Amino acid sequence: MKTPENLFKAALARGEHQLGLWNSLGGSAITEQLASCGYDWVLIDAEHGIFETGDILPALQAVAAYPATTAIVRPPSGDAALIKRLLDFGAQSLLIPYVQTAEEARALVAATRYAPAGIRGFAGMTRATRFGKAEGYAINASDQICLLVQAESRTALDNLEEIASVDGVDGVFIGPADLAASLGHPGNPDHPEVQDAIADAFGRLRRLGVPAGILALDPEFTRRSLALGSTFTAVGVDSLLLDSAAVQLEREARGWIAATPAP
């Protein structure tokens, strides 16, 4: 039995755009429903979403029912012990928040690699190893692990080339909201200084040949990000989509009520 191919990582390496959706609401049934919607990847958000560590395994199992969709897990931090658990659960793609230096990026790479290349602890009977049945897993595991790091501060942008050039970093995700706060514009990612910084970051990553990603929640920003070279782009968050649809339906229903003559 072979370790499953990471289709997301392979597509990034080929330069193919990958369209994503954010899963912030806990419960594997929601994750499975999102995975059925045709996106290339679903982000299981354990940083800001309603996921405890133990919730991530059933979420990964839910996405696995849809082989064309890749699960990406965002832990709350880059803690090596937590990364070890997520990899043992079978996560092959990780998005690590708030990476600010190349040293931090190298430590994250080490957390995803077995010795002598890293510090990942080995356990044979895990979902990642197909319960000991994946041939050569210890040797080949890193080939299918995709490590994405978030650059979301002034410091991270100052160190962007060094971070992106670390061997084992497969892509850099620009975080507009935290970046806006770091640049002195909290709650205003549309501020010209923030937008200029995002455009500059995309250009620098493009020149390095490193895939760049972003979360874009309105059509104009999505189109602008794609034009700048976003390679993996999330275009929605489940809680926002639910809220938007519910509010829209409520407004329409109020109109129907007001326009309906009393019997």
Distance, CA of 234 to CA of 232 (rounded, Å): 7
Mean pLDDT of 139-155: 96
Model pLDDT, residue 82: 98
Domain 7-259's class? alpha beta
CA distance 220 to 225: 9
224 burial (CB, 10 Å; 0-12 / 13-18 / 19+) is middle
Res 68: pLDDT: 96
> How many helices and strands (H and E) does the chain possess?
12, 8
User: Taking the domains of the chain in order of start, what are their residue ranges?
Assistant: 7-259
Residue with tokens 């760049």: 212
pLDDT at 53: 96
Report which DSSP code applies to 112: T
Q: Using the predicted structure, report yes or no on whether residue 124 has a pLDDT greater than 90.
A: no
Q: Mean pLDDT in the chain?
A: 96
Three-state secondary-structure class, residue 10: helix
Annotation says 48 is catalytic: yes
Q: Is residue 262's pLDDT more than 90? A: no
Asked if residue 91 has pLDDT above 90, the reply is yes
Residue 8 pLDDT exceeds 90 = yes
Pick from 143, 185, 189, 150: which is nearest to 13 by CA?
143
pTM for this entry: 0.95
Work out the average pLDDT over 212-241. Answer: 96
